[in-house]
Amino acid sequence: MNINKIIRVFPRRTNATPCDALTFTEAPTKNDLEQLAFIAFDEIHISVTFTYDLPKAEELYQKWSVLGIPVTIGGPAIGMRGEEFVPGQYVKDGYVITSRGCPNHCWFCSVWKREGDLRELPIMEGFNILDDNLLACSERHIRAVFAMLKRQSERPIFTGGLEAKRLQPWHVELLRSIGTKRMFFAYDTSDDLEPLMIAGRLLQDGGFSKSSHAARCYVLIGYPGDTMDAAEMRLKQAWNAGFLPFAMLYRNKNGEIDKSWSKFQRLWVRPWIVVSNLKIADTFNARQE
Ligand code: SF4
């Protein structure tokens, strides 16, 4: 499919949203309609990542239908399985997906329900890996992904998340050899802690100092039964394991959050505020000892 003939509409702009001339985040203006009327498009795709954006997506569907071109709504929010990855189509250039799906079945996650088992895809060029669980891929695939990353001019980032339980010394060596800028792990449930601590040690032994903050960790907070004290303890445990923690507020299947957690979450999402607070706590604790 030729992406130059598809208008892509995203209800929300994120860091990964493409920004070419055929990408929109709102209804078409009069000016847009005048300009687009002279170009032959095949389709309009409204791509929705988050379920809470579905009402806006439906509004956009009505507004974009005036062009008289077929309009479809798709994306993870409607449980649509991702197919072939086309660079620049639904994420901007540089972001890349080399595999989809996950062999795990975490209760709070929609990946395995939507994508099913792991599928390795043809490897396209990019520096920011968005795979659901890259480390679950075959060694052959992982090595091919790192060979591709080595060719990139930008330092690699693993936004999609690396599973601590699967991290091996040879992965760490590959991560170091390509000058990884940032990589994200996850601390979602209590059984993630031990693998996270082991992964933290492997990374530090492999040359990723804690002070570089290259190793980061999404910490799930605010799920049913969670408390702020328990969440703060997990965030600090991630830090002690060698990761810069980043709070991820739980959303239920309708995409709703518990608003009473919003203020707490804000304290744990800005890296430099988090670092400075944790360093102050470290200094205080050292003085107490
Ligand atoms: S390991 Fe990650 S991607 Fe896989 S099911 Fe669990 S949360 Fe989802």
Looking at the fold, whether 119 and 222 belong to one and the same domain comes out as yes
User: Are 76 and 100 members of one domain?
Assistant: no
Looking at the structure, tell me whether residues 118 and 69 fall in a common domain: no
Whether 275 lines ligand 1, by a CB cut-off of 6 Å, is no
* Ligand 1 atom 6 nearest Cα: 106
113 and 62 share a domain? no
The verdict on the CB of residue 102 being under 6 Å from ligand 1 is yes
Q: Does one domain contain both 168 and 275?
A: yes
Per-residue pLDDT 10s for the chain (289 aa) are 677 789 999 999 999 999 998 999 999 999 988 888 778 788 999 999 988 899 999 999 999 999 888 999 999 999 889 988 999 999 999 999 999 999 999 998 999 999 999 999 999 999 999 999 999 999 999 999 999 999 999 999 999 989 999 999 999 999 999 999 999 999 999 999 999 999 999 999 999 999 999 999 999 999 999 999 999 999 999 999 999 999 999 998 778 889 999 999 999 998 888 888 887 777 767 777 6
- Whether residues 163 and 191 fall in one domain: yes
Rg (the chain; Cα; Å) = 21
Which of 54, 80, 106 is where one domain is finished?
80
Q: How many residues does the chain have?
A: 289
Q: Which domain holds residue 143?
A: 81-288
Ligand 1 atom with the smallest distance to the CA of 133 is: 3
CATH of the domain at 277: 3.20.20.70
Based on the fold, state whether residues 30 and 69 are members of the same structural domain: yes
Q: Is residue 220 within 6 Å of ligand 1 at its C-beta? A: no
Closest CA relative to residue 237, chosen from 199, 265, 273, 288: 199
Same domain, 119 and 178: yes
Looking at the structure, tell me whether residues 145 and 259 fall in a common domain.
yes
Residue 75 phi/psi, 5-degree rounding, is 110, 175
Instruction: For residues 13 and 47, give the distance between their C-alpha atoms in angstroms, rounded to a whole number.
Output: 11
Task: Give the residue from 32, 56, 80 where a domain finishes.
Answer: 80
Looking at the fold, whether 138 and 247 belong to one and the same domain comes out as yes
Q: How many domains does the chain have?
A: 2
Using the atom order of ligand 1, give the atom closest to the CA of residue 102: 4
The DSSP element (H or E) to which 177 belongs, if any, is helix 169-177
